[in-house]
Amino acid sequence: MLVGFSVSNYKSFKEGQKISFEASKITRHKAHVAVNQKKRILKSGLIFGANAGGKSNLVKAIRFSREIILNGLDKVNLSKSYFRIDPDMYKQPGIFEYRIVVGESEYSYGIAISYSDKTILSEWLIRIDNLGKEIYLFNREVDENNISHSESEIEYSSMDEKYKMNFYLEGFSEDMSEAYKRKSILSDIALRANEKTGIFAEIRKVYEWFENIIILFPNSKYNGLNEVAADRSKKLFFSSIMGYFDTGIESVEGESQQMDFDKVLNSIPREDAEKIKIDISNAANEHPIMFKIDEQVFELRKDENGNIVYNKLLLNHGNAEDMFDYNDESDGTKRLFDLIPLFYENRKVSLILIDEIDRSLHTNLTRKFLELFYEVVAEKECQIIATTHDSNLLDLELLRQDEIWFVERQEDHSSKVFSLNRFKERFDKKIDKEYLIGRYGAIPVFDDNFTLEEIYEE
C-alpha cells in the first residue's frame, strides 16, 4: 500500500511536494483504514483543485516515475517534463520518492533523474523496521566527479547471495555502460534474479508492487469489452452494475460476428491489408489470436465455415430484438465501462489512480461508485486515489478529513499540495460550501475588473 509520495521538479511541481496516506487519529469511517503492522493506512484519497492547478500532474508524476522504474529513461519524454517556468530547473534533478508497505514490510524507494544528461543520478531502496530503523537494500549515487557508486548494507543469508548482489551492483558502479545509466537497479535485479526467498525475492515483490499499479486517465479505455461478451459471469456482473447505476441497460449480452476486415483495414494500402488478412487467417487455423483495433482487443477465431469471427458486446435497453452497440451509449455510460472492471479485476493488493473520476458522470453516480468501492475493498489492502472537480464529494459523511487533499497553483505557477487536515475542521462541518467560497484555497480566482467591453473596444 502507498503510505506517501513526494515529487520535485516535475511539470508544475517545482519544490518538493508530498501527499500522505498515513491515517490520522480521526475515528470516523474506520472501514477506510487498513491496519498493517501497527501502521494505519488510508484506502482512499480525493484530490481537489482548480483547472490548471496541478491535480492531473500529481497522477502523471506517478505514471512518469513508474515508467522509469519499470522500463527506464528511454521510455519517457524528458524534454518537457521538468518545471519549465524556470529554465534553470532543466539542470536540476527530478526527484520521486515512494513510501510503501508490501506484505509485512515497509520501504522507502526513490529515484532522482537528470533531465539534461538523461541519466539516473541516484536510486535507493530502504527497508524500515517497526522501530524505524532503516537498512539500505541498495543505494546508488553519482559523486562530484560524475562517478557512480552502488552498495548494499544488508546481512546476507549466504555467500552466494552476497556474491550475486555484488555482481548486480557492479554494473551500476564506476565503469557503468550508457544503458545502465538509464535503467533502474530495481528492475534489473527483479528481472534477472529468480530466487523465491531472500533479498532478491524481497526486491522482486517491491518491483511487482509498481507493476500492479492501475492508472486511468479521462481517455483511458478498457480493452477487454469483447472478452466480457464471451464470459457469462462477467456479463452478469456488468448487467447488475449497469442496472444499479440506472443506465437504462437491462442486460449486457454478446454474440459471435464475422470480422469485416475491409472496413477495419481500409486506412492502409490494399497489399498490406491483404497480407494482414492472410497472416491472421493462417494463425487462427491453429488457435484464437488477439487483434487490437482502436484500443479494443478482439479475440479472433475461425468458425465451422472457415470465417474469422469474434465476440461482440451488445446492450439490451428493453428490446432484445434490436440491441445497442457500445458506441451508441452516452459518454457517461462509456466511462462506467472503463471503471467497472476495477471491481471484478481488483487484485488482492493494488493501487488505483483515476484522473477526473467524475468525468461525464452525474455527481450522485460518482458518490455511489466510491461507496461501492469501499464495500468491495472492505477486507482488502487496496487503495483508490482520484482527482475531481466535484465539490459535492467534499462531504465528511462520505470521506474522512485526512482523505481530502488540495492542489493549488502559486504565484510562480508552481503547484502546492496540502491536506484538509491542516484546517482542523469538525466532522459536522459543511466543507463543500466553505471550499467554494475560498476558505481552503485551490479554487479559480477571477479578475473582477475584467469586462468584455474592454476587449471589443481594443
Give the pLDDT of residue 122: 97
The CA distances from residue 19 to 232, 405, 406, 417, in Å, are 41, 8, 10, 7
**pLDDT (tens digit per residue) in 443-452:** 887 777 777 7
What is the 3 state secondary structure string of 92-124? CEEEEEEEEEECCEEEEEEEEEECCCCEEEEEE
Q: What is the mean pLDDT of residues 13-34?
A: 94
Given the C-alpha cell 494482414, which residue does it identify?
276
Cα separation, 53 vs 390, in Å, equals: 15
Across all residues in the chain, what is the average pLDDT?
90
Q: Which of 27-36, 397-406, 449-458 has the highest mean pLDDT?
A: 397-406
In a 3-state reduction of DSSP, which class is residue 26? coil
Max Cα distance, the chain (Å): 81
Give the pLDDT of residue 296: 64
Whether the per-residue pLDDT at 295 is higher than 70: the answer is no
Global pTM reads: 0.90
Q: What is the mean pLDDT of residues 193-198?
A: 91
264 versus 302: the higher-pLDDT residue is 302
Q: Which of 75, 107, 74, 73 is nearest to 93 (CA)?
A: 73
Q: Which of 175, 174, 180, 181 is nearest to 192 (CA)?
A: 180
Neighbouring residues of 238: CB distance < 8 A, sequence distance ≥ 6: 228, 252, 337, 340
Whether the per-residue pLDDT at 418 is higher than 80: the answer is yes
Whether the per-residue pLDDT at 438 is higher than 80: the answer is yes
Please provide the DSSP assignment of 214-275 as one string: EEE-TT---TTHHHHTT-HHHHHHHHHHHHHTT-S--EEEEEEEE--HHHHTTTS-HHHHHH
Q: What is the mean pLDDT of residues 88-99?
A: 97
Cα separation, 332 vs 410, in Å, equals: 33
**pLDDT (tens digit per residue) in 34-82:** 887 668 999 999 999 999 999 999 999 999 999 999 999 999 999 999 9
